[in-house]
Structure 1
Amino acid sequence: MAQTSTTAQSPAAATVRLRATIEKIDATSITVKERSGEVITLVRPPEMEVSEVFALALSDIKAGSYIGTAAMPQADGTQLALEVLVFPEAARGAGEGHRPWDLRPDSTMTNAVVADLVAAPTTLAGSGGQKLTLKYKEGEKTVIVLPGTPVVSFKPGKSDEAALLVPGAKVMVTAQEKAGKPTALRIIVGRDGFAPPM
């Protein structure tokens, strides 16, 4: 969380995403080990959002689905998906657009409607890949989803928080400095060791 310390005094401190494993948790705090190896203790406020991420199949991506995909830009102008999140209908429109993302260096995030999908060129994807045309307000992107690319969705997890937020659980935490302390705003968590791929 050191990267947010310079903004802690501003009215709206920057948020950061931590991809981590829960080390310890109690009623007011959560300690995680970030993928870099850094151990961070966060305030666990009562209003913290919890979502459970779960696996889908590539075939669950349909024309008209609203998705988010972390991807790597390719030389031909397409994007190669690192993961695909199929949003539940209630979250349609969330974060619409195309922007930089921090899953890997130079990765991007596109949240958009699947306007079209066809089989990906076999020279690239082998058999079973998909070529998605994603449309959002400002434009469109072509995304290649290879076989084996993680495809997931999420559902509210607050009611099952005690079972989900346990030591060893893989999480993605959206956190922000509040009153000088790193505070968890939202946790996306996988059950039984399943890791959020985004």
Structure 2
Amino acid sequence: MHLKRPNTNKMWPISRKGTKYLVVPSHSKNNGIPLLVILRDVLKIVKTRKELVKILREGKILVNDEKLRDESRTLVVFDSIGIPSLNKYYKFNFSDTGKVSFDEINEKESHSKISKLSNKKILKKGVTQLNFGDGRNILSKEKISVGDSAIINFKEKKLVKILPISEKSKVMIIGGKHRGEKGVIESVGEKILIKSKESKFEIGKNEIMIIE
């Protein structure tokens, strides 16, 4: 399936002019961008889909430390892109205005990411299957609640640090009109009270990600 360029999500940092049709995100349509759009229209690493398909087949593109073959794969916040042959590494982020940005990082930073826990399932012998918002599943005995974030090491496939929803935790807003803003949690209830540089506001747990 394809999407007409004028109908793309306004958070995508792309020109309204260019290729008439763009690939539709495979998932996370409100918060993600397909790899093809990122590398061709945003970072301009390639000029055409054909060029990207070729280098994907050659294993030259890493997403979260894994070789990727699918140009329609959708990336979400804090995913990393690695192009070792160019010594280039990028991290998916949100600007203060809610637009997607791709911050250049070093290779070491590309080996881990912050991800938000969507749900979990208790298995045998005290082991829990943790299901994260980016589609990642990890077996762990760590104590973590749905809505909390964790720093995940890709190579070791384990949680490096738990980032709980609690007072004084630092957050990034990932949905709604405040998307991209950063702040600190002042109180936790049915709604989360956030203090940012500009204001105080309440927001749902599904619209925040703990980052520190």
Q: Is this a same-fold pair by TM over 0.5?
A: no
Question: TM-score category by the smaller chain?
Answer: under 0.3
The TM-score, its normalising length taken from structure 1, stands at 0.27
Q: Say which structure is richer in strand.
A: 1
State the TM-score, normalized to the length of structure 2. 0.25
